[in-house]
Amino acid sequence: MIKCHLSRLLGERRLKISDVARDTGINRGTVTRLYHETAERVEFGVLDSLCRYLDCSLAELLERVPEDRSATGKP
């Protein structure tokens, strides 16, 4: 699964979702879904804008973590 570290990055910088939406032009709903990790898809342009705005790499914003297979019931 993909983990989004937007909430941590914003917390470290003492930024609000509304600050990011206003300053980047990204829809507030999109920023909120990324913040709460409920987004199902994200456009590359949004990721690029966030990385530029937060002066971070894509690897700092997103991380692939292994799923707990026992929780999903899949082998």
Q: What is the pLDDT of residue 9?
A: 98
Band (35; pLDDT cuts 50, 70, 90): very high
- Which CATH number is correct for 2-65, 3.90.1300.10, 3.40.50.1980, 1.10.260.40, 3.30.1360.120? 1.10.260.40
Q: Is the dihedral of CA 37, 66, 41, 47 positive or negative?
A: positive
| Domain boundary assignment for the chain | 2-65
Q: Rounded to two decimals, what is the model's pTM?
A: 0.86
Q: How far is CA 33 from CA 11, 25, 45, 54, in A?
A: 16, 15, 16, 17
- Dump pLDDT digits (tens) for 36-74: 999 999 999 999 999 999 999 999 999 999 987 765 555
- H/E stretch holding 3 reads strand 2-4
Q: What is the pLDDT of residue 68?
A: 78
Q: What is the pLDDT of residue 50?
A: 98
Beta strands in the chain (DSSP E): 2-4, 62-64
Q: What is the pLDDT of residue 67?
A: 84
